[in-house]
Copies of this chain bind each other. A is one copy, B any other.
Amino acid sequence: MAISKDVTISEIAARANVSIATVSRVINQAGNIKAETKQKVLQAMAELGLNPSTYCGIKAPADSRSILVCLPNFQNPFNADVIEGIQNAAMARGYRTFFYAASDLRFSLYEYEKIIDQNNFCGLLLVHNVLDTEQLNKIKLKYPVVMCSEHCNLPDVSFVSIDDVYSSQIAVNYLLSIGRSRIALINSQLTNAYARFREKGFLSALNKAGLQANNNWILHITEIDFDIAVSVITSLLKGADRPDAIYCVSDVYGAAAIKAIQNYGLRVPEDIAVVGFDNISLSKMVVPALTTINQPKKQLGHQACEILINLIENPSTPPQHILLDTELIVRSST
């Protein structure tokens, strides 16, 4: 309800004809309050479109359970929507979510294990790549664990992800269909499973079309960072031989490609077409707007969190390996 978004405690107080302090005490279930006064406050909340049970400690009982959600960092805008999906699923099931970024991803699972040992978390949701499957194996014997966005090859760890190989093929086939055949790939480091799979899809689509990939046009960027990507892509443009399309495994790289191409005095899409990946809001903000592969970001987070909660509540739930659908969104950069 849009109206309830703007209700403040002072409005509740005004409507109930009590002080703000009284509204506070009712919400906080603290102090002595006459039943009649309490009823007036609850009534006012309901009239203002608020569900009193949501705000008066009923939905968040003292034993409310908590999930630890681990991300590589909070910089990649892709994760903002994944987080929203996780939060919504957790809230609907009465769980709280706490977000944590490891100080060093290579050793992160040791850190998470310590954190869960020391705290009240009842499950672990991993929103990043795991290299150390031995340690993951160890943790999953102690605590419910589910992976979101990325996945690993342990058959008994559930994950929700996308088909990266197929999605790359869709992107490359589309570029081929509009007459581009000199296609560069801007990828992340191959330590990320998604990067390996997307590169595989890129190569197989070219191969299927009878084309040979140009190894000078396959670049791996150390982190999803706009400035780094601009300089890497600029060096690509300086080569004697130049691509007529750039396929980027992230919209951040795609935005950087547009910037680098335009800075270099070339036009998007006339000289070089650009395709991104993720469909984050940035892809609509840049000019020209970015053609991209949509990932169902909120759904990835939502479904992974639901599977984790099912596992928490019923440890015998069988593992699930889910690949959600992606889709090509054509905009002006191609």
* A interface residue numbers (CB < 8 A to B): 5-9, 20-21, 24, 27-28, 54-55, 57, 60, 62-64, 66, 73-75, 77, 79-80, 83-84, 87, 91, 96-101, 103-104, 106-107, 110-111, 113-115, 118-120, 131-132, 134-135, 191, 222, 226-227, 255-256, 258-259, 262, 281-282, 284-287
Contacts and interface: CB of A to CB of B under 8 A. Distances in A.
B262 A118 contact: no
Given A21-B134, A285-B285, A286-B287, A104 B54 contact: yes
Contact of A287 (B107, B131, B287): B287
A226 B79 contact: no
Contacts of A134: 20-21, 24
A234 to B, nearest CB: 14
Given A24-B134, A27-B110, A286-B286, A75 B64 contact: no
A77 B79 CA distance: 11
Contacts of A74: 74, 79-80, 83-84, 99
State the copy count for this chain. 2
Contacts of A103: 54, 87, 91
B60 A114 contact: yes
11 contacts: A5-B222, A21-B134, A60-B111, A62-B118, A74-B74, A74-B79, A83-B101, A98-B99, A99-B100, A119-B120, A259-B284
Nearest to A115: B96
A160 to B, nearest CB: 19
B28 A226 contact: no
A97 to B, nearest CB: 8
A41 B94 CA distance: 44
Contacts of A97: 100
Contacts of A113: 28
The 6 closest A-B pairs by CB, nearest first: A99-B99, A98-B98, A74-B83, A255-B285, A74-B80, A75-B80
Contacts of A191: 6, 8
Contacts of A262: 287
A220 to B, nearest CB: 11
A281 B226 contact: yes
Contacts of A132: 9, 24
Given A20-B134, A120-B119, A73 B84 contact: yes
B96 A98 contact: no
A128 to B, nearest CB: 15
A9 B106 contact: yes
Contact of A107 (B55, B115, B131, B256): B55
Contacts of A106: 7-9
B287 A114 contact: no
Given A60-B111, A118-B120, 10 more contacts: A9-B106, A28-B113, A66-B119, A74-B83, A74-B84, A75-B84, A227-B284, A259-B285, A259-B287, A286-B287
